[in-house]
Structure 1
Amino acid sequence: IPTQKAFILIDAVKDTVLASPELTGRWEQRLKEIGEGKASAKNFIDQSKKLAEKIVNDAKGHASSWDFNVYIEKMANEKFLGQCPKCGEGVTDKGKFYGCSAFKSKNCDFTLNKKLLGKTLSETNMRKLLEKGKTNLIKGLKGKNAKEFDAYVVWKEKEAGSIGFDFKKNKKVVKS
């Protein structure tokens, strides 16, 4: 799950060759050829080193134009959704994911992606997970082979910040 630093990096390289699907495709093809003995691993490694040097040099040249104030302002305006299961500090909305506000001060790496099996984990459900250990029933989650199911998100290992699913539906008591 990407951290806030990862999103800054993604924004920084989004218009570079590093973020190019074509580059990924060429690398996959070359790795396949190396695996089949049709291409040299040494040449691939040498070319990768040259590309890494170019990317670092380009980044140094563009670093002065990067504006991190957007991220700093966003962090200053964060509202807490509940306590971090790992360190007890506040969990906040980081944009594409929920994360611990103490990622810098305590090196806490708790994050939870908002997109979960094709559905968005709402702020309300994140609050419930943090406070009660269980979300509302989330309908239409997409598992293997895009098969849909309904489940509650629960802590699998709370101290590790890992989640699981509870497939039990609440039984309604009908009074006559």
Structure 2
Amino acid sequence: MSARFTMLSCMHDNLIREYEKYPTAKELWEGSKVAYSSTSATRLRALTLRFNQYVLDPKHSMIQHLNVMKDMILELQNSGCDLSDEQQVLVVLRSLPEQTWGYVKLVLTHNEQIKKFDSVTSHLKLEVKRRESERAQQDAFVAHAGQRMPPKDKCWNKSTGAGPSHSQSQK
């Protein structure tokens, strides 16, 4: 039994008449792909809306957020919707929360050299690294309770066993 025959036998009668003109299974498959794999206008609109309204999830890291955005861009491109580089950059910047990323959004929006998704991605990754190193540096200067050293003049002399009160009484 051939693949073409198997494919035709799985179709309704009205479709069989339409697709039996293809002599090979490959041509039959290509013909059905052309007829049924196009993205509907509703699906395309839903993808575009989801992309335009997507915001950074507080549970996600910036890398995860940028990966989701890249996946949405690829999905839109595969559906036949070509987004301009400027659209991609603006939507990514719009997706960042104002409280924590407001200054970065302002700087990147007005930077004339950032015109592509990849450049805004690299700038955001650099900003994440800068913030992480700044946070690590701040943590290094924080004093922790219970780790305070006693003053030098009040230390016990380990060799003689004499403390500050003992040495004062001998004078």
Does TM, normalized by the shorter one, top 0.5?
A: no
Structure number having the greater strand percentage: 1
In the superposition, the TM-score normalised over structure 1's length comes to 0.22
Normalized against structure 2, the TM-score is what? 0.22
Q: Based on CA coordinates, which of the two structures has the bigger radius of gyration?
A: 2
Q: Which structure: greater helix fraction?
A: 2
